[in-house]
A and B are shown apart, each in its own frame.
Chain A
Amino acid sequence: MNAETLGAVRRFLPQIVALFAILAINTAVFPGFLDITVQNDRFYGSLIDILNRGAPVALLAIGMTLVIATKGIDLSVGAVMAICGAVAASGVAGGGSVAMAVTTALVVGVACGAWNGMLVAMLGIQPIVATLILMVAGRGIAQLITEGVILTFNNEGLAFFGSGSIFALPVPVLLWIGMGVLVAFVVRRTALGLLIEAIGVNRRAATLSGVNSHVLLITVYMISGLCAAIAGVIAAADIRGADANNAGLWLELDAILAVVIGGTSLLGGRFTLLGSLIGAMIIQSINTGILSSGFPPEFNLIIKAVIILLILVIQSPALRTFVVFWRGPKEEVFDKEQSAP
C-alpha cells in the first residue's frame, strides 16, 4: 500500500470502521449476509443489494457535498427526484423515446438546480430557505406531471436504468460510482474544488480575490440538480412508475447525513466526495441490515437513529478533544498561541 492510499485509509478510519462494524453485525445477525452469487449473468447478494439500493442517496450525496462545501444546503433534492422521475415516466408513457425521456429529465433537474442557485447567488436568499421553496413546490409540480396518480410505464429501455445490469453489476451501482468518479475527477483535476472551498470558507474574501462566486454557486446547485435527476430516473425505473408523493421522500435528509458522516462540515469549506459516498453506504447498510434482520419495522427508524448518533459521537470534536487530552496535548495548542494577536 503506498503512502497516499495509507493516508486516505487513515483519514477515513472512523467511517471505514463504522461501515465494517455494521457489516459485521449484519453478518452475525444474518448468516450468509456476505454471500455473493451469480444468477443470469448478474451478481446477487446483500452486499450488491446495499450498493444498488444505496444508489439514490449516494448520487444525492455527491451533489450535496459540493453544495455544503459552499456553506449551502439543498433541501429540494428529494422533490427534484420526484419531478425528474415523473418527467422521464411521462416521456415514455407518452410514447417518446427513452433517450429523449431521460435527457429531458436530466435537463429539468439541471434547471431546478439553476433555479435554486439563482435564488442563493443572485438574490442572496439563505440556501435552506431558497431550497425549501422547491422542496415544497416540487412535489406539487411532480403531481401535476403525473396528474395525481402513480404514472406507470412498461418500457424495458427506461426500466433498464433501475434493474438492468452491465458486466454483472446493476446499472444504478455503475451510475453512482461513475458519477462519483467523474465529479471527483473534475473538481480535483481542475481548480473547481479549490474555488468551491474558498467560497465556502469566506465568500466575501473569495469574491474580492476575483472568484466568480455567482456562477460557481449556480453551477454547484446545477450539479446537485443533475445528481437528483439521475437518482429520480433510477427510482422511477426501479418501480416502473413515477410516484410523485413518495419518490425520494426524505432522501434529502439521508443525503445530508451521508455528507456529515463522511466528514464534510456543514460550515462549508473542505469537502470529501469519497467520505460522502462511504457515508451513503453506511446509511444503506443500516437500512438493509435492519430490514434483513427481521426486527419489527416499527423499530427501524429508532435503531437507525441510535446507530447514526453513535457514529456522530465517535466523530465529534468534543470526543476528539477528550482523546487528545487523554493522550496529552499536541502541537496545535502552540499554533493557536502563535496566532493570537
Chain B
Amino acid sequence: MSSEPMLRVENLTKRFPGALALDAVDFSLKAGEVHALLGENGAGKSTLIKCLTGAYRRDSGEIVLDGQPVDPRDTFDAQKLGIGTVYQEVNLLPNLTVAENLFMGRQPLRFGMVDTRSMNRDARQMLAQYGLEIDVARELSAYSVAVQQIVAIARAVDLSGKVLILDEPTASLDAHEVRMVFDIVRSLREKGLGIIFITHFLDQVFEISDRLTVLRNGRLVGTRAIAETERLDLVTMMLGHELSQETREHAAERGGKPETRFRFRGFGRARSIAPFDLDIGRGEVVGMAGLLGSGRTETAEVIFGIRPHDSGSAEMDGAPLALTSPRKAIAAGIGFCPEDRKTDGIVGDLSVRENIILALQARRGWARPLSAREQNTLADRFIKALDIRTSDREKPIKLLSGGNQQKAILARWLATEPQLLILDEPTRGIDVGAHAEIIRLIEDLCAEGMSLLVISSELEELVAYARRIVVLRDRAHVTELGGAEIDTDSIVRAIAADAGTEIGT
C-alpha cells in the first residue's frame, strides 16, 4: 500500500440554495485500500460522490487524481478519468444480456455488425476474473441481484480502473451474497484499485474497510484507520452523541407469560409457508429470524391476508378472526409495515399527511372522510411524536429520506390504533439515528400493550427487544426461543441446525 494518496479532495464545497451541502471537506483515497464513507442521511455522502463523478459541479475546492487536478464534467468524463460508480439499485438494463450490459456502447464490431460471439467470449473472460461462471448470453434479469451487482462492478472496473465507488452495494443482498461481493472487493483491492465504500451496515465497515471517513451535516468529522477505531467511537462520530441503544442489553423483564391475545393454530398456505402455531401476547414482541427466503415475509403475508391462508385458524381474545384479505386483517386490528417501502409502503406522490391518514381513511371508507382539521392534527401529532423530519406535512413523501419514510409508514398504522403490528425489516436501509429511534419506538409500543411481530435480519436487534424468537427455515417455523435462550449465537445455531448445504441458497 503506497502512502501517497491516489485521489485527494481538498476543501471541497458545494452549496445548494438555502443549504451548504459540503463545507470544505477533505478526503483522500490510497491505491489498494477500501475506504468507508459514513454518515447519516443528509450528511453529504451522496453530494461528495456526485462531485467526484461529475453529476454535480463543485463550488470550490480541488480534486487531484494521480497528482493531476481534475474536473469531471459528467459521469462519462469521470469514467474516462478512471472513476467508476456502482449504485445500490443496479444501473444496468435488465432486458439485455449480461454480455451486452458489459459492453454497452462499445460492442466489438465486425463488418459493421455487433460481433456477438467475440463479445460473449470477452464477457466470459471478464467475469471469470471475478470467479463468476454464468451464461453471458442470457438476460441480466435472469440472475440474482448479487450477480447483477457483480456484473455492474465488472463493467465499472473495466471502464474506469482506478477508483471504484460502491454506493450501498450490499443493501439488498443476503449474507451469502454479501460475502460474494466482498470477496470481489478484496481481490480488486489487491489489484491496486482505490475503493470508496458507502454503507449503513457498521459490521460490514469493520469487516472490509481499511480506513473510514465520517461526514456530518456537510462537514468532515474525521478520518481514522479501522484498526484504531472502536464501534462505539464510530457511532459517536456519526451521531455526535453517544447512542445508548448500541451498548444496552435488553433491560425489560423477560419472565412472566403475558396473556395471549392472538392465537394461530395450523395456520399456513401451500407453497408459501407450512402450517404453524403461534401465540402473541399483550404487549409482547415476538421476533422472527431466518435466512432470506426462509418464510419470514410469507408468514407476515399470510397473517395479513395478502396471501390468504388455506389451512388453520386464527383467533383474537378467543374470538375467531377471518384474515383472508388485507382489509379484513385491518378490520381485525392488524397492521403491516412491509419490507419494501418503495413498492409496498409509500404512496410517493402523495403528501406526508395523506400517507399518514391513508390506512385510517381506508378503514373508515370513502363516504366518511376525515376533516381537514382532523387530518392535520393527526399528521402533526405523528410528525412530532415520531420525529419525522420534513419541512412540512404537505411535502410529497418520496422526497423524504428512507428513515423518515419508514416512520411515516409506522405512523400510518399507529393512526389506526392496531392491536397487532407486523414489522418486516423495520430498520433496513435507514441511517443509524433513525434506526435507534425505531427500536425505541418498538419498545414504547409494547409497553403500551400493543402486540408486535417483528421480522429482522439484524439479530442483535431482535435479541434486544424480543421476548420470544421464532426461527424459520425452508418455509417452516422450526424452533421458538424464549427467555434465557435468546442470544445471537443460539439464533444462528437454530438457523443453521441440520440445514447443511441449504444455508445461503
Is there an interface contact between B350 and A337, defined as CB atoms closer than 8 Å?
Answer: no
Contact of A269 among B349, B362, B364 (CB under 8 A): B349
Contacts of B370 in A (CB 8 A): 191
Q: Is A341 an interface residue (CB 8 A)?
A: yes
- Which of B95-103, B219-227, B229-237, B353-361 touches A? B353-361
A318-341 to B contact mask, C-beta < 8 Å, 1/0:
000000000001110111111111
Q: For the complex, is A60 an interface residue (Cβ under 8 Å from B)? A: no
Question: Given that A202-B343, A212-B327 are known contacts, is A189 also in contact with B348, CB under 8 Å in the complex?
Answer: no
Give the residue name and chain of the B residue nearest to A333 (CB). Answer: B16
Residue of A nearest to B396 (CB): A335
**B327/A341 in contact, CB under 8 A:** no
Q: Across the interface, do B17 and A207 meet the contact criterion of CB distance under 8 Å?
A: no
When the two chains form their complex, are residues B429 and A198 in contact, meaning their CB atoms are under 8 A apart?
no
* B343 (CB) vs chain A CBs: closest residue: A204
User: Quick check: A212 and B362 within 8 Å, CB to CB?
Assistant: yes
Q: Within 8 Å CB of B346, what residues of A?
A: 202, 205
B412 proximity list for chain A (CB < 8 A): 209
A216 nearest CB across to chain B (Å): 7
- Is A34 among interface residues, defined by CB-CB distance under 8 A? no
Within 8 A of B (CB), among A167-222: 189-192, 194-195, 197-198, 201-202, 204-212, 216
In Å, the complex CA distance between A110 and B369 comes to: 25
Interface size grouping (class) on chain B: 35 or more
A331 to B17, CA, bound (A): 6
Whether, in the assembled complex, B173 has its beta carbon less than 8 Å from a beta carbon of chain A, the answer is no
Identify the interface centre among A198, A206, A208, A331: most chain B CB within 10 Å of its CB. Answer: A208
List of A residues within 8 angstroms of B359 by Cβ: 209-210
Partner of A334, one of B17, B347, B366, B369: B17
Chain B residues lying within 8 Å of A240, measured Cβ to Cβ, are none
Of B168, B171, B366, which is within 8 A of A216 by CB? B366
B402 at the interface (CB under 8 A from A): yes
Q: Is the pair A205, B347 in contact by a Cβ cutoff of 8 Å?
A: yes
Which residues of chain A are near B429, meaning CB under 8 Å? 341
CB distance from B161 to the nearest CB of A (A): 26
Known: A201-B350, A334-B21, A341-B401. A210 touches B326 (CB 8 A): yes
Binds A, one of B41-49, B129-137, B238-246, B450-458: B41-49
Interface residue A270 (Cβ < 8 Å from any Cβ of B): yes
Chain B residues, CB < 8 A from A191? 361, 364-370
- Give a binary string over B254-285; 1 marks a CB under 8 Å from any A CB, 0 the rest: 00000000000000000000000000000000
* Chain A residues, CB < 8 A from B318: none
0 or 1 for each of B397-425: is its CB under 8 Å from A? (1 = yes): 01111100000000010000000000000
Does residue B306 face the partner (Cβ distance < 8 Å to A)?
Answer: yes
The answer to whether B364 touches A330 (Cβ under 8 A) is no
**Bound complex: CA of A192 vs CA of B18, how far in Å?**
37
Task: List 8 contacting pairs A-B, 8 Å CB cutoff, sorted by A.
Answer: A195-B362, A205-B346, A209-B326, A209-B412, A210-B359, A212-B362, A341-B401, A341-B402
The 4 closest A-B pairs by CB, nearest first: A334-B16, A210-B362, A191-B369, A210-B330
Q: In the complex, given contacts A202-B343, A208-B338, A209-B362, what are 8 additional A-B residue pairs having Cβ atoms less than 8 angstroms apart?
A: A191-B367, A194-B354, A201-B348, A209-B330, A209-B412, A216-B366, A338-B42, A341-B429
